[in-house]
């Protein structure tokens, strides 16, 4: 009887350790947005979702995401560097763009604060960011939660996004395919 109990305890201990130490996915690579496979956010006016590429570098607990967006207004690059599991980090941001694609007058760059954590299942990385914009004495905050996960074959990156603004909440799902080099 003692052998059965000992075997059971050892089995559960080994199983628990293997579940706890599951390897987290590595999101590194260049990824191209596939609009036709995505559930894109609603854009204001006649604007359309820009052509988007993500260049992700993930090593240990550090992750860098460079987003390159191309539209009729030109190209815009945004870079974030985060330590997974660390406290919130302030991210440098560029000034807000005016209606004609120029930096808005008297519009300071928004303050962006973000953090990255593995989801409880260890299969997706959640990045939560707060963007605080100030214009003419008015302050507005937008909160975005982006959850990144990989397909089984590591060739598709899915970003599920929930965005909360003073105008309400919206959800979207962006599907990216790996750019093979």
* Superfamily grouping for domain 26-178: Calycin beta-barrel core domain (2.40.128.20)
Provide the whole-model pTM.
0.79
Residue closest to 161 by CA, chosen among 26, 33, 55, 22: 33
137: region left, alpha or beta (phi > 0 left; psi from -120 to 50 alpha): left
Residue closest to 114 by CA, chosen among 70, 145, 72: 145
Model pLDDT, residue 73: 81
Q: Which helix (H) or strand (E) holds 11?
A: helix 2-20
Q: Residue 180 CB: number of other CB atoms within 10 A?
A: 7
Chain centre to alpha carbon of residue 162: 10
Model pLDDT, residue 72: 85
Residue closest to 73 by CA, chosen among 102, 41, 96, 44: 102
pLDDT tens digits for the chain (181 residues)?
555 555 454 444 444 444 445 689 999 999 999 999 999 876 655 567 899 999 999 999 999 999 999 988 889 999 999 999 999 999 877 665 544 444 455 678 889 999 999 999 999 999 999 999 887 888 999 999 999 999 999 999 999 999 999 989 999 999 999 998 7
Name the residue ranges covered by the structural domains of the chain: 26-178
């Amino acid at each position: 009887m003692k052998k059965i109990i000992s075997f059971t305890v050892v089995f559960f201990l080994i199983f628990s350790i293997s579940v706890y130490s599951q390897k987290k996915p590595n999101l590194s690579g260049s990824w191209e947005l596939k609009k036709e496979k995505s559930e894109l956010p609603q854009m204001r006016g006649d604007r359309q979702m820009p052509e988007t590429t993500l260049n992700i570098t993930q090593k240990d607990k550090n992750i860098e995401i460079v987003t390159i967006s191309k539209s009729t207004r030109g190209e815009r690059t945004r870079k974030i560097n985060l330590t997974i599991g660390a406290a919130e980090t302030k991210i440098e941001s560029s000034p807000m763009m005016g209606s004609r694609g120029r930096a808005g007058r008297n519009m300071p760059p928004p303050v962006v604060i973000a953090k990255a954590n593995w989801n409880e299942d260890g299969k997706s990385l959640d990045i939560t960011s707060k963007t605080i914009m100030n214009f003419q004495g008015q302050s507005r905050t937008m909160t975005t939660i982006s959850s990144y996960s990989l397909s089984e074959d590591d060739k598709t990156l899915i970003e599920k996004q929930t965005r909360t603004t003073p105008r309400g909440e919206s959800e979207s799902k962006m599907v990216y395919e790996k750019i093979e080099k």
